[in-house]
Structure 1
Amino acid sequence: MIRRLFLSLLALPCLLSAADAPPNIVMIISDDQLWSDYSFMGHPVIQTPNLDRLAKESLTFTRGYVPCSLCCPSLASLITGLYPHQHKVTSNDPPIPAGMKPREFQSSPQFDAGREVVSKHLEEAGTLPTMLKEKGYLSLQTGKWWQKSYQRGGFTHGMTHGGRHGDEGLNIGRKTMQPIYDFISEAKKEQKPFFVWYAPMMPHDPHTPPQRLFDKYKDKAPSEKIAKYWAMVDWFDETCGELIKHIDDNGMKENTIFVYLSDNGWITNPKTGRYAEKSKQSQYDGGLRTPIMIRWPGHVQPKMSEDLAESIDLVPTLLHAVGIKPTKTFPGIDLLDDAAVTARKTIYGECFTHNFVDLNNPAASLRWRWLINGYDKLIVPNKANQPDDVVELYDLKADPTEEKNLAPENADKVKALTAKLNAWWQP
């Protein structure tokens, strides 16, 4: 009896340390997917059973947003918790020298030098993997990554070594999931908490789904191009299911925070297969809106919420969840703080040119600033880059696809919201 009691006391610190261990974090980032292209968001044809299940088990913000509808700055905001004008990564690529063609530019010394400047901006801004090191986290980059090597983002492990937006990292999801499983095994072996950045180039083009999935949608879609995109969404959902199952089947469900969102939206042009005007790179919800999910069993109550959420909220949310006190003030809020979520009625964002105009001056590349206040959405163009655009105002509750500009007959509201937008950032 005494010996058993002694042995149980010896085991107690191990039990306590396991219970107190910081949670693992898995971040799933869809690439170019419209906010409504999920079964749980009401799409009548696309099937996303795994993400539907994740949404049901999560605190799910159906009105989530990214500040910018372009891949590189959107991902930079996600990993820093800052707006593009704060971290200075406003665009995908450096400025193109006069007379040089884009393809020629991407293999030039000028392109590499410009990317180095952008990578330094990200390092100076600070990233989530760097902050998580304080708690001993190992971190893995897979999929889309724009800032040269994964190490530039503070990851301890990674797949991308310097290609424009991912090189070997782009194999994740489309070809294999094994690097993630190997990394998790290593972290468990070292008894370290881990952070996984799963950002496959899916459903991003090229839209090359397995034949079985294309066959599933080819007779249900308005065009072959749309069928291929729908099949890509289904394929991406399958990979998410594999990743979630791996975590859950290996006894890590209760101590792993899953986060889900898309980096920006996408609407398929039925003729070309490219993106339609009011989606990617635009100032509209088709490019900016995304569901945001947080699953953490026993800590986060599952709920479908219509409160506003933004990708910049995720860094402060995760830091608070793992017990790290931020060393600076973030513009976002803790999405697990009900009072803060309820109190906030306004979110902000900004869209920039695809190529930088000036690598060190965010205002030079600005196209539009926008805010959402309740269900009112104001869009203000930067005349330097959008000389023919007008101020736009939409009622997102009555007009979610932003068809009717209400600005002309609501001058007072436009004035008040513009003042609010200028108080946030006026270049």
Structure 2
Amino acid sequence: MQMQLNIQPALLLTLQLSFLLSFSAFAQSEKPNIIYILSDDQSWTDYGFMGHPHIETPNIDQLAADGLTFTRGYVTAPLCSPSLASIITGLYPYQHGITGNDPEFTFEKPRYQTDWQEARSRLYKDYLEEFQKHPTVPQLLQKLGYVSFQSGKWWGGHWKEGGFTDGMTHGDPTRGGRHGDEGLKIGREGMEPIFEFMDKAIADNDPFFVWYAPFLPHSPHTPPDSLLNKYLPKAPTKAVAAYWAMCEWLDITVGQLLDKVEQEGLTENTLVVFVTDNGWIQDPERPNRYAPGSKQDPQDMGIRTPIIYKWPGKITPRMETEHLTSSIDMVPTTLAAVGMDPLPEMQGINVMDRKALARRKRIYSMDFSHDMVAVDQPEKTLESRMIISGTWKLIAPGPANTNTSEIQLYDILQDPMEQQNLAEANPKVVKQLLASLDGWWPGDGR
């Protein structure tokens, strides 16, 4: 009898430990891995699934078919640094303080040399300190035990300064640190750094977050010869062919990343989000150069992008052509996926919430000068504010707009290339949309 009494508590303890371990493993498996795939300088039209007649993007096409795909997605700014800062914080540029790529300053020597980089870094410190007041996605996820990896484009200094637990970018201006440095090798020179990080996370049973922001299709447009030769017969010029080939090169690397997820058996428990940082129209005569009306401009070719959310079993695949979305929604959606509430200052929505999507009537974007002049006065470099509501898009010029003081209004569905300004013929619409813009952010320092 005594032996039986001694065995039962031991057996009970064993069963309890077994249950706790099983529950812990179950809870762990319920935390989805998160992967952000960020295209760099690509028009919303330049994918197979978006109808481009020549560019082939079979892997992104499949991602779009398997996910919730918004064809009317927008970023918060048509320039990479403020756009990416919004994607990692869930805040608009006027909130997080990064409105341009570089501080404005006079320097005798050409840009991007080492001494210019060092001078820039000293001036950028104020902007970086303001930016770092706001939690980033990896910092928020780390509270739940996530590990995270930075690769590709990154303007926030060393990867540690962005809250990542691992990464590639060192941010040292004496070694070319500005917008990604070593991180810009990802994709162009293989995917091993990400795969090694994933392998370790899997071995340690850690949920993970991956920031994959390759320098693709960003210039320099130096695709493999096989891709360039594929597009030369189809393109009007070699410059265009090279850009088209870069778009497919990006797609190939996306396929490699998603194949890795599939091979590791992680597809069902991984939320993949795809977006581009800003648009691009390839100048047909000048290699590696963009044409007006795209990057750094408020037109749709500068701020529109497809945005894709794939999470098998949790997000029903569908092509969403009606409802609007913004990159500002990525963080609230990510937090909802892991059971966290958005921070009070976040203005985006959880796109998995259909009621929230239906309630949304408008989204916003903004365009600033390339160089910033005051971290606490973003309006000084504000060139345009944009609002999209239903079929309408309004562009309101800001204090720093030297090109025009004219308000522009477009029926963006009928006129996606924004050729016919309808502001004069629709004064009531202009008044309503301007009132909405001013209620959101006046753009004048108030």
TM bin (shorter chain): over 0.9
Deviation, structure 1 residue 113: 1.2
Instruction: Name the structure 1 match of 2:429.
Output: 413
In the aligned structure 2, how far is the partner of 1:109 from the partner of 1:209?
31
**2:405 aligned with 1:389:** yes
SS in 1 for 2:69: strand
Map of 1:121 onto structure 2: 130
- Do 1:105 and 1:111's aligned partners in 2 also have CA atoms closer than 8 Å? no
Query: So what's the TM-score if we normalise by structure 2?
Result: 0.91
Q: Report what 1:17 is aligned to.
A: 24
Structure 2 Cα separation of the partners of residues 98 and 160 of structure 1: 25
Correspondent of 1:161 among 148, 170, 177: 170
| CA spacing shift, 1:222–1:387, aligned 2, 3 Å | closer
Identify the range of structure 1 (102-111 vs 222-231) with the bigger mean alpha-carbon deviation.
Answer: 102-111
- Residue range with higher mean Cα deviation, 353-362 or 260-269: 353-362
Match of 1:322 among 338, 349, 359: 338
Distance in 1 of aligned mates of 2:75 and 2:106: 30
**Alpha carbons of structure 1 residues 106 and 370: separation in structure 2 relative to 1, 3 Å:** farther
Counterpart for residue 304 of structure 2:
289
Q: Secondary structure, in 3 states, of the residue corresponding to 2:235?
A: coil
C-alpha displacement of 1:185: 1.0
Task: Pick closer, same or farther for the CA change 1:11–1:157 going to 2, 3 Å.
Answer: same
Name the residue aligned to 1:254: 268
**Partner in structure 1 of residue 61 of structure 2:** 52
2:119 equivalent to 1:110 = yes
Letter in 1 for 2:355: A
Whether contact under 8 Å (2:283, 2:291) holds in the other structure is yes
Structure 2 distance, partners of 1:51, 1:388, is: 37
The answer to whether the 8 A contact 2:332-2:341 is kept is: no
What SS class does the counterpart of residue 204 from structure 1 fall into? coil
DSSP 3-state at the match of 2:324: strand
Q: Name the CA distance, whole Å, in 2 between partners of 1:183 and 1:393.
A: 47
One of 76, 90, 101 as aligned partner of 1:67: 76
Distance verdict in 2 for CA 1:30–1:109, change over 3 Å: closer
**Superposition map of 1:186-265 within 5 A:** 186-265=200-279
Cα distance in 1 for residues equivalent to 2:376 and 2:108: 22
C-alpha spacing 1:186/1:9, structure 2 compared with 1 (3 Å)? same
Q: Which secondary structure state, in structure 2, belongs to the residue aligned with residue 231 of structure 1?
A: helix
Q: CA separation in 2, counterparts of 1:375 and 1:18?
A: 48
Q: How much has 1:97 moved relative to structure 2?
A: 2.3
**1:300 corresponding residue in structure 2:** 315
Contact preservation (8 Å) 1:392, 1:406: yes
Structure 1: how far apart are the matches of 2:402 and 2:440?
21
| Matched residue, 1:152 | 161
Measured in 2, the distance between the counterparts of 1:109 and 1:249 equals 43
SS in 2 for 1:107: helix
Distance 1:256 1:106 in 2: 43
- Once residues 344 and 109 of structure 2 are traced to their aligned partners in structure 1, the CA distance between those partners, rounded to angstroms, is 41
Percent identity (aligned): 47
Which residue of 345, 353, 356 maps to 2:372? 356
| 1:300 partner amino acid | I
CA contact (8 A) 2:382 2:399 kept: no
Residue-by-residue CA offset, 1:315-350 (whole Å, 9 max, x unaligned): 011011101233433110011100001110100111
Deviation, 1:381, is 0.4
Number of equivalent positions = 424
Q: Summarize the Cα distance change of 1:79–1:106 in structure 2 as closer, same or farther, 3 Å threshold.
A: farther
What's the RMSD between the two structures over aligned residues?
1.8
Contact 1:29–1:261 (CA under 8 A) maintained in structure 2:
yes
How far did 1:383 drift?
3.7
Q: Specify the code of the residue in structure 2 equivalent to 1:195.
A: F
Aligned mates of 2:41, 2:291 — CA distance in 1: 12
CA contact (8 A) 2:149 2:164 kept: yes
1:258 aligned partner, one-letter code: V
Could you tell me which runs of 5 or more consecutive residues in structure 2 were left unpaired when the two chains were aligned: 1-10, 172-176
- CA drift at 1:290: 0.5
Match of 1:79 among 84, 88, 91: 88
In 2, Cα distance between the equivalents of 1:374 and 1:386? 29
SS of aligned partner of 1:102 = coil
Alignment of 1:339-350 (within 5 A): 339-350=355-366
State the TM-score, normalized to the length of structure 1: 0.95
> 1:122–1:153: 8 Å Cα contact kept in structure 2?
no
What's the counterpart of residue 279 of structure 1? 294
8 Å CA contact retained: 1:96, 1:105 = no
Larger Rg: 2
For 1:301, give the aligned amino acid: T
* Structure 1 residue runs without a partner (length 5+): none
CA distance in 1, matches of 2:54, 2:125: 43
| 1:94-129 Cα shifts (integer Å, max 9, x gaps) | 112276643458625431112212221221122111
